[in-house]
Amino acid sequence: MLTLKQTRRLHSVLLGTLAWAIAALIFFPILWMFLTSLKTEIDAIAMPPQFFFSPTLENYLLINERSDYFSFAWNSVLISFAATILCMLIAVPAAYSMAFFETRHTKRTLLWMLSTKMLPPVGVLMPIYLLAKSAGLLDSRISLIVIYTLINLPIVVWMIYTYFKDIPVDILEAARLDGASTWQEIVRVLLPIARGGLASTMLLSLILCWNEAFWSLNLTSSAAAPLTALVASYSSPEGLFWAKLSAVSTLACAPILIFGWISQKQLVRGLSFGAVK
Amino acid sequence: MADLKIRNLKKGFDGTAIIKGIDLDVRDREFVVFVGPSGCGKSTLLRLIAGLEEVTSGTIELDGKDITDMAPAKRDLAMVFQTYALYPHMTVGKNLSFALDLAGVAKSEIKEKVENAARILELAPLLERKPKQLSGGQRQRVAIGRAIVRNPKIFLFDEPLSNLDAALRVQTRLELARLHQDLQATMIYVTHDQVEAMTLADKVVVLNGGRVEQVGSPLELYHHPANLFVAGFLGTPKMGFLRGVVSRCDATGCEVQLESGARVPLAQTAGHLAIGSPVTLGVRPEHLNVVAAGQGRMQVIADVSERLGSDTFCHVRSHSGEMLTVRVRGDFSPGYGEALELAFEPAHCHLFDADGQAIGKALQQAA
């Protein structure tokens, strides 16, 4: 018969094990990708799969020789950050008015915005491609920045709206009575209070932009191509070279993974935002 | 100077009228309390004065200037919120100085004003702390301090004590009364707690269903309620009501026959009421006495008793089913279901007509 203390300990050990198991399951593909990137092409396709092998960096060297990684990475950084900043500039005022000046139509507007995310992108590929073409924006960073801003806007507005909703309206009213203009109210009171939530929203937007492949593959070729296009270029014309593909994928994932790791604290604070009140 | 004039003020939300035409004057240096049950519109009225809600119709004037459509920031009013509404990302000092900072006041003057407010409210050791590091009472003081530094024309308080525990509430209530004396400021205070209304106010405004039921000094309202609502709302425990009819009316006064059969002669006219008109007789708990059998006006059955030490509140039921409360000595405690006899002085009774309006004795409803 276990004592209460032992039962609790057992529970925590079991829960801990389960959590680690799920985490390992989620992390495994990334680990496997990284391991494969250090293998030779022969080791990479060996059956049964090899866990022990002599690691090599030849894939990475080859990629650097064959394509200009930093040009693709720079495009990814530029497009992701610009789209995220633009998205925030539009979403913050929108979410402010929806959260603090709610009307009968606010909820419906939010749902409608979200519903646009359900539209399959391929459904609007032709019109957007033609629009970009006639505007002279094919293979241009601007077209990707605009498209990424627009496709992420619904999610970003929703997230910021939710964070703003958590802020007691009394605090903003107090600022209004203290003599703050709308601009001062947003910049000096609202944004500092919501900074955790805003940071995690920005991070999510960055990740979504970074990982987007459909539009970048269809609207860019070389000058404006981001890392997703680089990865794709290694998958088709050369046949399936697993080790090289893994190496280029690792290089594509690494920056955003590291960035996410660093911002983790901000992200957690954003998600547990209610504690600010 | 801070004279506030409200004329025929109305406010509706989505077609539902919340404030249904209010006329009110607040004079300079007055402590005015809006009191009423939940949903009576008292907080909405305060928010209309503050400019946080748009007026549907009517006017608000401050020192002769129409401020009905003026932005909150321009009205020169300060408000203390029920939730304190402190800026969580700023220190206490920054919370206090924020309004002055926005107004572009010189740094040295801000410092002086913040220090002065901190001294009055004993906040000096807390100036570097963030709101989350403060207790409820301290947060409350910061919220009041934020209003003080601005030296506004009128202080607005929206149920400022309702988030404090009972002991702190009593203490803060006293501090607020003292602050009003010290600052000689005009204050408007919203509460649902009639004890706060009675103890703090120079003038009490009783609101019900978006209308003013009565305006007057606390004792005026207590002794001369204009209607059944005010009579029942002010006073703890509340006034007891007995149903009856006018049974006699002449030059010496009138007489009310209660449903229990007792006849109560009153030294007042029955006003417009004819013999046989239904009326309600109100008696406060402190005016009811338990007396020996045969010496009282009515028999009742004891329900539960609440012993407070100094007094006991006996809840009793009349034979006609009305519940009354009797205040008796602290050591008197009747058993549940025990038969008691009650006496009361007719001079202490309040008479109300079938519409609930006070007859004769009460003052007319003040505007």
Q: What CATH number corresponds to the domain at position B21?
A: 3.40.50.300
Smallest Cα distance from A91 to chain B, Å = 22
Q: What CATH number corresponds to the domain at position B254?
A: 2.40.50.140
Smallest Cα distance from A261 to chain B, Å = 25
Same-domain check for residues B263 and B145 = no
- The verdict on residue B10 lying in a domain is yes
| Residue B86: closest C-alpha in chain A | A171
Cβ within 8 Å, pair A177-B83: no
Same-domain check for residues B259 and B347 = yes
B238, pLDDT greater than 80? yes
- The residue behind tokens 């920056």 is A255
Cβ within 8 Å, pair A177-B50: yes
ipTM of the complex as predicted: 0.83
- The verdict on residue A212 lying in a domain is yes
pLDDT of residue A240: 73
Q: How far is CA B83 from CA A191, B129, B136, in A?
A: 20, 18, 10
Rounded Cα distance, B92 and B89, in Å:
10
Which of B178, B198, B232 is the last residue in one of the domains?
B232
Q: What percent of chain A has pLDDT over 70?
A: 94
> Position A154: which residue type?
P
- The verdict on residue A132 lying in a domain is yes
A108, pLDDT greater than 80? yes
pLDDT of residue A237: 57
- In tens, the pLDDT along A225-256 reads 888 888 888 876 556 788 888 999 999 988 88
- In tens, the pLDDT along B324-360 reads 999 999 888 888 999 999 999 888 999 999 999 998 7
B285 SS3 class: helix
- The verdict on residue B299 lying in a domain is yes
* B269 against A23, higher pLDDT: A23
Count of other CB atoms within 10 angstroms of residue B210: 23
Question: Pick from A177, A193, A195: which is nearest to B72 by CB?
Answer: A177
Average pLDDT over residues A10-18: 95
- B293 with B367: CB under 8 angstroms? no
Smallest Cα distance from A180 to chain B, Å = 7
pLDDT of residue A277: 40
- In tens, the pLDDT along B278-294 reads 999 999 999 999 998 88
Which 153-182 residues of chain A touch chain B by CB within 8 A?
A: 168, 170-171, 173-181
Average pLDDT over residues A209-235: 87
Cβ within 8 Å, pair B87-A174: yes
Contact residues on chain B for A179, CB-CB shorter than 8 A: 73, 99, 102-103
Which of B232, B263, B279 is the last residue in one of the domains?
B232
Smallest Cα distance from B131 to chain A, Å = 10
Q: How far is CA B145 from CA A179, A188, B46, B138, B363, in A?
A: 16, 20, 19, 10, 39
pLDDT of residue B367: 33
- The verdict on residue A39 lying in a domain is no
- The verdict on residue B366 lying in a domain is no
Determine the Cα angle at B137 with ends B146 and A175, to 5°: 30
| Residue A173: closest C-alpha in chain B | B52
- The verdict on residue B365 lying in a domain is no
- The verdict on residue A215 lying in a domain is yes
Same-domain check for residues B46 and B121 = yes
pTM of the model: 0.82
Banded pLDDT at B266 (limits 50, 70, 90)? confident
- The verdict on residue A205 lying in a domain is yes
Q: Is A189 on the interface with B (CB under 8 A)?
A: yes
Structural domain range at position A137: 67-276
Question: Pick from B52, B89, B102: which is nearest to A173 by CB?
Answer: B52
Cβ within 8 Å, pair A189-B88: no
Q: What CATH number corresponds to the domain at position A218?
A: 1.10.3720.10
Domain count for chain B: 2
pLDDT of residue A46: 78
Banded pLDDT at A270 (limits 50, 70, 90)? low
Contact residues on chain A for B77, CB-CB shorter than 8 A: 177
Question: Pick from A171, A179, A192: which is nearest to B73 by CB?
Answer: A179
Average pLDDT over residues B173-195: 91
| Residue A275: closest C-alpha in chain B | B132
Q: Is A5 on the interface with B (CB under 8 A)?
A: no
A190, pLDDT greater than 60? yes
Cβ within 8 Å, pair A193-B87: yes
Average pLDDT over residues B32-56: 94
Domain count for chain A: 1
Rounded Cα distance, A245 and A142, in Å:
28
Tokens of B116: 């002065």
Structural domain range at position B272: 237-352
- B204 with B35: CB under 8 angstroms? yes
Q: Which residues of A262-274 are buried (b: 16+ CB within 10 A; e: fewer)?
A: ebeebbebbeebe
| Residue A184: closest C-alpha in chain B | B102
Q: Is the peptide bond before A48 cis (omega within 30 degrees of 0)?
A: yes
- In tens, the pLDDT along B113-169 reads 999 899 888 899 999 999 999 998 899 999 999 999 988 999 999 999 888 888 888
Mean pLDDT, chain A, whole residue set: 88
- In tens, the pLDDT along A74-101 reads 999 999 999 999 999 999 999 999 999 9
Cβ within 8 Å, pair A171-B78: no
pLDDT of residue B366: 35
Per-residue HEC secondary structure of chain A comes to CCCHHHHHHHHHHHHHHHHHHHHHHHHHHHHHHHHHHCCCHHHHHCCCCCCCCCCCCHHHHHHHHHCCHHHHHHHHHHHHHHHHHHHHHHHHHHHHHHHHCCCCCHHHHHHHHHHHHHCCHHHHHHHHHHHHHHCCCCCCHHHHHHHHHHHHHHHHHHHHHHHHHCCCHHHHHHHHHCCCCHHHHHHHHHHHHCHHHHHHHHHHHHHHHHHCCHHHHHHCCCCCCCHHHHHHHCCCCCCCCHHHHHHHHHHHHHHHHHHHHHCHHHHHHHHCHHHHC
Contact residues on chain A for B89, CB-CB shorter than 8 A: 192-193, 195
Question: Any idea of the CA torsion for B264, B266, B271, B277, to the nearest 10 degrees?
Answer: 10
Instruction: Return the axis-axis angle of helices A195-211 and A242-262, rounded to nearest 10°.
Output: 170
Average pLDDT over residues B84-102: 94
Cβ within 8 Å, pair B52-A276: no
pLDDT of residue B364: 34
Question: Pick from A171, A184, A195: which is nearest to B85 by CB?
Answer: A171
Cβ within 8 Å, pair A176-B79: no
Count of pairs with CB atoms under 8 A, one residue in A, one in B: 59
Contact residues on chain B for A188, CB-CB shorter than 8 A: 98
A275, pLDDT greater than 50? no
pLDDT of residue A269: 63
Which of B177, B206, B232 is the last residue in one of the domains?
B232
Cβ within 8 Å, pair A171-B99: no
Cβ within 8 Å, pair A175-B87: yes
